[in-house]
Amino acid sequence: MSAAHDSTSAPPSTVSLASIQAAALRIRPDIYLSPVRHSAGLSEITGLEVFLKLDNLQRTGAFKERGALNKILTLTPEERSRGVIAASAGNHAQAVAFHAGRRELRARIVMPVMTPLVKVAATSGYGAEVILHGADYDEACDEAIRQSHADGLTFLHPFDDDEVIAGQGTIGLELLEQIPSLEAVVVPIGGGGLIAGIACALKESNPAIRVIGVQTDRLPSMLRAREAGRPVTVAAEATIADGIAVRRAGQRTLPLVARYVDELVTVDEEEIASAILLLLEREKTLAEGAGAAALAALLRKRTSLNGSRTAVIIGGGNIDVTLLSKIIERGLVKDGRRTRVRIHLTDRPGALHHLTRIIADLRANIVQTAHDRAYYGVSLGDTVIDFTLETRGAQHIEEIAQALTVAGYRHERIE
């Protein structure tokens, strides 16, 4: 077991409804009361009454501010004077950097080497010293704990800490006020701090509210921990949901999840990507992978919910623009709004003009072309052209294919 997770001797969690209420009073002056928005479109798609809790609108772009600030505000003067250190894939890092900086605390953040640039730049921009170390969060966490001991810094755990859990749980209190007759909440899970806090706040206020957790199927650490009855380490995997890419559930969060959470489900990478795109296009809301995971579970009907008034936690919006571009491109292809077709034609003057006229007559827009005369089994005197086209859907793509066949062109769609 790594140093980062050697907490078997830790005392039981003290998180309670009272501690979450105290956290809410403590952080209220500095935390944005994020809105809840009812979505008629998502309600129609899912068969539920869907409300989006938009904590991606926090100052640093994610819910992590709540727990980080509550922890910072409960540090002793001696702990504050030593400076703080944290490990994070991005959102906890930014939260600690921002709120430590506002209180003139020295902050050092250890982040995995492959952390999206947008999160690294933001963390550094808030005034923290950033160190890139390790292939994933767990390796970064081990290094942060090592440095905390070596340099006397106060370590701020991103999820396995009672004050952090209580801070995240303030979302639950807000939901009770913002959504009358709330029946269910769907929450993304990494190490479990967010869902542990929310579930405690909700269940202690109204036990009838269902709480459902969602993990990426590549790193189902909380699901495996619940099955085993103890935290277990799952194999490292790359995921677009880097904010919940935690290989081992928390020692303190697991008992709270076991006690309060009704259901745990998983979603895959394509499902998360589709949820990101749907939120962006239909809801005008930017979510990162971890922020869209809960919605992905509803869209794919992974949960047992049926017709419930359901809150979906959109926990973060700090997504790398390069990744977002790839998600948009793949989404357009899946929806039939972009396609690529390889067409064989005679290499003579006017041949390309005749081909592009057919495409233009069908109102498809040519985005990109690539000629090749040497590969793909091209005969002498012939050429092959790859066209990337903007289209209106699967039926439109079929119409283009039929027109090319009628015109005598040999062609195939490139997946």
- Rg (Cα) of the chain, in Å, rounded? 25
Place of tokens 């066949």: 405
Q: Which CATH number fits domain 10-62+162-330: 3.10.129.10, 3.90.1200.10, 3.40.50.1100, 3.90.1150.10?
A: 3.40.50.1100
Prediction pTM value: 0.88
pLDDT one-digit tens code per residue, 270-328: 999 999 999 999 999 999 999 999 999 999 999 999 999 999 999 999 998 889 999 98
Angle at 113 between CA 110 and CA 268, to 5 degrees: 105
Question: Distances in Å between the alpha carbon of 117 and those of 58, 91, 111, 286?
Answer: 19, 12, 11, 17
What's the token pair of residue 184?
Answer: 């269910």
The span from the CA of 384 to the CA of 372, in Å, is: 5
CATH of domain 65-155: 3.40.50.1100
The span from the CA of 199 to the CA of 206, in Å, is: 10
Q: Residue 283: which of 312, 320, 305 has the closest Cα?
A: 312
Q: Please name every residue paired with 372 in a beta bridge, in sequence order, or none if there are none.
A: 384
Q: How high is the pLDDT of residue 384?
A: 85
Helix runs in 37-76, H state only: 40-46, 64-73
383 by DSSP, 3-state: which? Answer: strand
Q: How high is the pLDDT of residue 49?
A: 98
Q: Which CATH number fits domain 336-413: 3.30.70.260, 3.40.50.2300, 3.40.630.30, 3.30.200.20?
A: 3.30.70.260
Task: Provide the pairing of β-strand 184-188 with 210-216.
Answer: parallel
Helix runs in 335-393, H state only: 351-361
Three-state secondary structure of 120-155? HHHHHHCCCEEEECCCCHHHHHHHHHHHHHHHCCEE
> Has residue 119 got a pLDDT over 90?
no
* Helix or strand (DSSP H, E) at 295: helix 289-299
What's the token pair of residue 354?
Answer: 């005749």
Average pLDDT over the chain, rounded to an integer: 92
* Residues ≥6 apart with Cβ < 8 Å to 406: none
* Residues ≥6 apart with Cβ < 8 Å to 78: none
pLDDT tier, 377 (very low <50, low <70, confident <90, very high otherwise): low
The span from the CA of 188 to the CA of 190, in Å, is: 7
Task: Delimit the domains of the chain by residue range.
Answer: 10-62+162-330, 65-155, 336-413
Place of tokens 């922020």: 291
* Residues ≥6 apart with Cβ < 8 Å to 46: 298, 299, 301, 310
pLDDT tier, 115 (very low <50, low <70, confident <90, very high otherwise): confident
Q: Phi and psi (nearest 5°) for 92?
A: -65, -35
Q: How high is the pLDDT of residue 46?
A: 97
The span from the CA of 388 to the CA of 209, in Å, is: 49
* 10-62+162-330 and 65-155, same CATH topology: yes
Q: How high is the pLDDT of residue 10?
A: 62
Mean pLDDT of 365-379: 74
